[in-house]
Amino acid sequence: MILWKNTIITRTTMFIVNILVIAFMSIIIYSTIGLICDNNMARDFIEKIKYVPAVPWTVPVFSAFFILLLFVLVVLREKYFKKNILVLYIFCIIDILLCVGIMFTLNMSYKGVLLIAIANVITYIDGHKNKSIFIGIIIIIYILLDYDIFSIRMNMFTINDYVHYYTSNQQVYIFSIRNILNSINEIVFILFMVQVIQGERDENLKITGLYGQLYKSSEELKVVNIQLQDYARKSEEVIKIKERNRLAREIHDTIGHTLTGIATGLEACIELSEINIDKMKVQIVKISELARNGLIEVRRSVSELRPDALERLSLISSVQKLSQDINECTNTNVNLEVVGKVPKLSPDEEETIYRVVQEGITNAVRHGNAKEINVRLVFNETSLQADITDDGVGCDYIKEGFGLKHIEERVSMLCGTVLFTGDTGKGFCISLSLPIRGKFKNDKSANS
C-alpha cells in the first residue's frame, strides 16, 4: 500500500509504453492485410499461413479495449478500493485475464503487457505470501504463453509473417521500433522495481530509526522512574520533617503558654503570701486549674494537634478565654478588641490566628514583663489584621527564637505576612495580615 504514491508515475509510464507497443503491432497487422490485398498477394499469404487470421479491424479494436479497461481498473482502485482487500484480489485476477486477452489478440507476439499485472500485484497486494502466489502465477503464464510453445498445439502466426511483406529497409525500421519499445517497457519496469526496493529500504530505515527512538525513550523512562522514586523518597522525608516541626510548634505553643502563666502566677503568690493569704489561696486555685487545662491541651495536641479551646469554642471565645486565664492568674491585664464582622474561617486559619495571639501574649508576659497587653483583631471582607502590643521592656534588636520562627512559618503557609517591632522601654508589637478564604457568618462583633 505504501507504493501507491511513490510509483504512480512509473506505472503510468508503463501503461503509455504498452499502449504504444500494442498500437504499433496492431497497426502493422491491420495495415499489412490492406497491403496484401492492394498488391494482389492474398493467395500467396493464405497458402503460407496455418490458419485464416481474424478480421483485421478486430485486432486494434480488441487490443485497445483491453488495455483501456486495464487502465480503468487501476483508476478505480486508486479512488475507491484502496482498503478493500477482497476487491483488490479480484481486480488483480482480472488484470491477468486482460493481459492474456491482449496476448491472444496479438497472436502471442508480445508478452511485455504482463509486466503491468506484476506491477499491480506488487502495488496493491499486501503480504509476501500473497504477492508470491500472484507473481508465481504470472511467471508461469509468461513462460507457457509463448508463441513457440503455444503454436505446437494451436494454429497461430506471428507478426513476422506480416512484416515479411515489407521491404528490407522497412523491416529493419519495424523491428527496430518494436525492440526499442520492448526495451523501454523493460527499463521502466526495472525502474519500478528499483522504486519498490528503495521504498522498502526507506521504510525499514524509518522503522529502525523509530525503534532506536523507542529504545532511547525506554531508557530515558527508566532514568525518570528512578528519579521519581528518589523524589518520592525525598518528599516523604520532607513531609516527615514538616510534621515534626508542626508537632514542635504545637507543643511549644501549648506548654510555653501554660508554663508562663503558672510561673507568673507563682511569682504573684509569693508576693501575696506576705500580704493576703486568702487571696493567695484563690490565686493558687487558678494556677492549679491553668496547669490542669494545660496538661489536657498538651495531651490533646500530641494526639490531634489542634487547640482544645478551638474544638470547644469559637475563635473569638477561645481568645477571650485565653485572655481571661492570663488576667486571673497573673498581674498582667489583657485587653481584646474585635472590629468588623467575624467571618467563617477554615480550621487552619483559626488555628494560626489563635497560636499567634497565644505566642504574643506568652512572650509579653515571659520576656517582656508586660503589665498591659492589647490584642486587636480587625476583620474585613478579604483579610484579617491582628496587632498584639504590650508595654514591656521591648528590645532594639529582635532575635527570632523558636516561637517567632514558627509564627512566620504558620503565616507564610497561609500566604500571610507578619511583622515584629520593638524598642527598648517601649514594648513589643506583632502585626499580622492574613487573607481570608471563607465567607462571613452572621456573628456580631465582640469587644472586651
Are both 244 and 156 inside the same structural domain? no
Same domain, 133 and 266: no
Contacts 24+ apart (CB under 8 A), 94-98: 95/70, 95/120, 95/121, 96/134, 96/137, 96/138, 96/141, 98/66, 98/67, 98/69, 98/70, 98/73
SS3 call for 305: coil
What residue has cell string 508576659? 365
How many structural domains compose the chain? Answer: 2
Mean pLDDT (the chain, rounded): 79
CATH of the domain at 265: 3.30.565.10
256/162 same-domain check:
no
> Looking at the structure, do residues 142 and 246 belong to the same domain, yes or no?
no
pLDDT category at 392 given cuts 50, 70, 90 is confident
Residues 29, 139, single domain; the answer is yes
Do 304 and 412 share a domain, yes or no? yes
* pLDDT tens, position by position, 203-218: 888 888 888 888 888 8
Q: 30 and 140: one domain?
A: yes
Task: With H, G, I as helix, E, B as strand and everything else as coil, classify residue 149.
Answer: helix
Report residue 163's pLDDT band, with 50, 70 and 90 as the boundaries: confident
Which range marks the domain in which residue 145 is found? 3-166
* pLDDT, tens digit (0-9, with 9 covering 90-100), for 97-111: 999 888 888 777 788
Which pLDDT score, from 0 to 100, does residue 301 have?
Answer: 59
Q: Is residue 244 part of a domain?
A: yes
Q: Are residues 33 and 157 in the same domain?
A: yes
Asked if residues 151 and 31 have their Cβ atoms less than 8 Å apart, the reply is no
Sheet with 372-379, edge to edge strand ranges: 333-339, 372-379, 383-390, 427-435, 417-423
- Whether 323 is covered by a domain: the verdict is yes
Quick one: three-class SS letters along 4-59? HHHCHHHHHHHHHHHHHHHHHHHHHHHHHHHHHHHCCCHHHHHHHCCCCCCCCCHH
Closest by CA to 339, choosing from 442, 266, 238, 448, is 448
Angle at CA 413, nearest 5°, toward 410 and 417? 75
Residues 7 and 154 in one domain: yes
The whole-angstrom separation of Cα 220 and Cα 200 is: 30
pLDDT in tens, 41-84: 666 666 666 555 556 677 778 888 888 898 888 888 878 887 78
Last residue of a domain, one of 132, 166, 200: 166
Do 248 and 144 share a structural domain? no
| Same domain, yes or no: 120 and 259 | no
Q: Which residue has the cell 503565616?
A: 411
Boundary residue ending a domain (166, 186, 207): 166
192 confidence band (pLDDT: 50, 70, 90):
confident
Residue 21, domain member (yes or no): yes
Q: For cell 481474424, what's the residue?
A: 54
Look at residues 166, 194, 217 and tell me which one is the last residue of a structural domain: 166
- Whether 229 is covered by a domain: the verdict is no
